[in-house]
């Protein structure tokens, strides 16, 4: 979280000084390695959940090293982003000391990347460095200012049980009407506990304000007055929610309610929902679709530190991540969206994802998101 990092920044300066020394020592140890046997070892620091670790260690990396035998990989998993702060310190310290760093590829949240741009920490990607980048939609690259490669994505979508729902809503307004017409058969998770709940709440707010004002970097609490009609909409929906207005804790709890057929429809993460479905943990009649305007979602990006000692290898891996071979793995292993434009994907894949794979709305910035969560408790479930 960006906020946490502000607190940590003071500590970081001290840590950076210590890191310089560490990098110096490590640098001595690794510099000779590359030439010796003709293979280069790439150091990958990947933050995510265990499904993402599996995506790398069981799918991406074996295939990549088979295709490019001159590279080996050293995979470091950062579970739920634990340790991201240390990786940033390490890269920053190496940069300030003018040394290379043994981080060749880093998958992390956008906040760290933003923070490092003024420091010149990252390689700015372009078609000359990564030829396959031309297949990536320009706006997702611009969102990362070309400092990270958005190689996969996911968004919140509507999951519904087609056994009970014959004509699923196509727009947010139709969804609201459906919820009112089918009391007790829809819910979303407490927005404190999962993005799928934040998505529904944000959709209600964006309906009246649009996303632009709240997804940028600017923050002004006075602007939040515009959220009032959104709160009223959500509050009015409460009696029609599952169990007279109950919102379970976490994305998974919502999927469980769908699995037990306590509810017929909910907002769920596309990748998580499809993954549960593929593993048979949801009814066979479950379907997923994106509505208009779309719910929020996000791309996952890998970034190459400018101080990487193995730039060529890192860029080769990035380029390979955008091949159909790797992109198919994203879809098959974690049911994610491909990073490259859908038109480059095989027809069969496009058909499978046609109901969910649409553009998604941007997240509100972290401060607005914090206020949305607090005010939801105050205005929607807490007030009388």
- In terms of Cβ atoms closer than 10 Å to its own Cβ (0-12, 13-18, 19+), residue 298 is middle
Pick between residue 6 and residue 38 the one whose CB is nearest to other proteins.
6
Write down the least CB distance from residue 297 to other proteins, Å. Answer: 21
Pick between residue 7 and residue 25 the one whose CB is nearest to other proteins.
7
| Mode of pairing for the β-strands spanning 265-269 and 149-161 | antiparallel
Residues forming the site for other proteins (CB under 8 A): 3, 190, 192, 243, 245-249, 260, 262, 367, 370-371, 373-374, 377-378, 381-384
CA–CA separation, 314 vs 136, rounded Å? Answer: 18
Determine the angle formed by the axes of helices 366-375 and 2-30, rounding to 10 degrees: 140
Write down the least CB distance from residue 239 to other proteins, Å. Answer: 14
CA distances from 174 to 116, 180, 238 (A): 43, 10, 16
Three-class secondary structure of residue 234 per DSSP: helix
Pick between residue 355 and residue 371 the one whose CB is nearest to other proteins.
371
Pick between residue 154 and residue 198 the one whose CB is nearest to other proteins.
198
Pick between residue 328 and residue 379 the one whose CB is nearest to other proteins.
379
Write down the least CB distance from residue 260 to other proteins, Å. Answer: 5
Pick between residue 67 and residue 80 the one whose CB is nearest to other proteins.
80
Spacing of C-alpha 82 from chain mean position: 16
Write down the least CB distance from residue 213 to other proteins, Å. Answer: 20
Write down the least CB distance from residue 114 to other proteins, Å. Answer: 18
| Beta carbons of 250 and 192 less than 8 angstroms apart | no
Within the chain, strands assigned E span 40-48, 71-79, 105-108, 149-161, 186-187, 265-269, 286-289, 297-303, 337-338
Write down the least CB distance from residue 157 to other proteins, Å. Answer: 23
């Amino acid at each position: 979280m960006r906020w946490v990092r502000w607190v940590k920044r003071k500590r970081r300066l001290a840590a950076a000084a210590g890191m310089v020394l560490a990098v110096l020592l490590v640098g001595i140890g690794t510099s000779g390695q590359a030439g010796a046997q003709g293979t280069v070892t790439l150091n990958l620091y990947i933050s995510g959940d265990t499904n993402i670790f599996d995506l790398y260690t069981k799918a991406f990396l074996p295939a990549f090293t088979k295709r490019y035998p001159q590279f080996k990989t050293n995979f470091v998993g950062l579970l739920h982003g634990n340790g991201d702060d240390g990786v940033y310190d390490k890269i920053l310290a190496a940069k300030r000391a003018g040394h290379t760093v043994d981080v060749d590829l880093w998958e992390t949240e956008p906040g760290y990347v933003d923070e490092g741009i003024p420091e010149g920490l990252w390689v700015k990607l372009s078609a000359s460095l990564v030829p396959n980048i031309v297949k990536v939609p320009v706006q997702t690259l611009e969102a990362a200012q070309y400092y990270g490669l958005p190689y996969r994505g996911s968004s919140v979508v509507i999951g519904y049980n087609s056994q009970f729902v014959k004509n699923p809503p196509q727009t947010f307004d139709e969804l609201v009407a459906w919820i009112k017409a089918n009391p007790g058969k829809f819910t979303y998770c407490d927005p404190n506990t999962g993005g799928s709940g934040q998505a529904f709440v944000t959709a209600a707010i964006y309906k009246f304000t649009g996303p632009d004002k709240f997804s940028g970097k600017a923050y002004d609490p006075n602007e939040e007055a515009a959220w009032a009609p959104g709160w009223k909409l959500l509050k009015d929906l409460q009696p029609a929610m599952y169990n007279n207005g109950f919102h379970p804790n976490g994305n998974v709890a919502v999927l469980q309610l769908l699995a037990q057929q306590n509810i017929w429809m909910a907002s769920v993460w596309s990748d998580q929902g499809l993954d549960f479905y593929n593993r048979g943990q949801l009814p066979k009649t479950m379907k997923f679709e994106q509505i208009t305007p779309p719910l929020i979602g996000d791309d996952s990006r890998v970034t190459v530190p400018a101080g990487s000692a193995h730039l060529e290898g890192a860029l080769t891996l990035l380029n390979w991540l955008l091949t159909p071979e790797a992109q198919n793995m994203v879809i098959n292993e974690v049911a994610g969206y491909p990073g490259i434009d859908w038109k480059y994907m095989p027809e069969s894949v496009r058909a499978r994802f046609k109901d969910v794979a649409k553009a998604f709305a941007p997240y509100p910035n972290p401060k607005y998101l914090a206020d949305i969560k607090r005010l939801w408790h105050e205005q929607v479930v807490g007030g009388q």
